[in-house]
Amino acid sequence: MDLTPRRLGRSDVHVPAVGLGTAPLGGMYAHVAEEQALDVVRAALEAGATYLDTAPQYGHGTAERRLGAALATLGAAGRPGLVVSTKVGRLVVPAPAGAAQGIFADAPPSDVVFDFSPAGVERSLAESLDRLGLDRVDIVYVHDPDEHADEVLARTFPVLRRWRDEGVVGAIGVGMNQSAVPARFVREADLDVVLLAGRWSVLDRTGGADLMPLALERGVSVVVGGVFNSGLLADPRPGARFDYGIAPDHLVARAQALAAACERYAVPLKAAALQFPFRHPAVASVLTGARSRAELEENLALLDVEVPEALWAELDAIATAR
């Protein structure tokens, strides 16, 4: 696939068509060794997937720390074409040893709490830069402000716009697992980019009803994450994950129907899942998460699999059937 960088909104930030999502490097669902994390970052940079997205939530700082260590080891910080994004709105705070770490196997004893206040997001970015070992990042997203939209519009985005105006960051946006609140922000907050996870996938087209056409109209770019919908589209079976939980039966059945259609055309469902987001012109980049070099290389290879238009038509009919 052509990874020629694409501009984010009206900003000066350009990202390749495919980037690396680092939630798995924080130990999401399973332990990842430090050397393994380094090798994933190395493989991404070697392949030209030079957009690297992270967040304090991912392993409670572990993903940022591992990404920073990898960039330092590889001498990649400041490399032309490298784009790093992180997120604000959550702070990593101490918790007793033995406290539950949620879905992140490699999280240290800690908790992650919301804080969208000006002081909170200033602290969040400062701590992220410290973990990353960088003096700036290219993109800052507000992370999952589902119940805090009014506060974020009034208090958080003014800080991010100031950072952008001052050159502290190159582009600003919001990262969420839903489309309604990001659509509101596109209308009201002067964003460059929305990171939409799971709501513009070959299975779940929710974002196509509101956010996607609005982003295109307003000149706001969309970065798509969660193309496998937490795993259901990578392995559509009972017990697979969807939105970080166990997939309901009706979604398993629909994912299996998508897989059956792909099989008739000798196209892996994962290839269709990775390529689907680019069918909308608002999409600038797709993030693929990987916990090993082999996973990353498989995903990148699947982007070059030809998906016939007839198959797209069948997948559209299955995904949108009532």
Q: Which are the catalytic amino acids?
A: 58
Phi-psi region of 133 (alpha: psi -120 to 50; beta: other; left: phi over 0): left
**Two tokens at 82?**
């490298």
Planar angle of CA 82, 85, 183, nearest 5 degrees: 130
- Report which DSSP code applies to 237: S
Q: 10 Å Cβ neighbour count for 218?
A: 15
The three-class DSSP label of residue 80 is coil
CB 142 within 8 Å of CB 87: yes
User: Strands, DSSP E only, in 130-219?
Assistant: 139-143, 171-176, 193-197
CB 198 within 8 Å of CB 177: yes
Instruction: Work out whether strand 90-94 and strand 110-114 pair parallel, antiparallel, or are unpaired.
Output: antiparallel
- Report which DSSP code applies to 97: T
CB 223 within 8 Å of CB 19: yes
Task: Name the helix (H) or strand (E) containing 21.
Answer: strand 18-21
Q: How buried is residue 316: exposed, middle or buried, by Cβ count under 10 Å (0-12/13-18/19+)?
A: middle
The length of the chain in residues reads 322
The three-class DSSP label of residue 81 is coil
Closest among 5, 21, 6 to 274, alpha carbons compared: 21
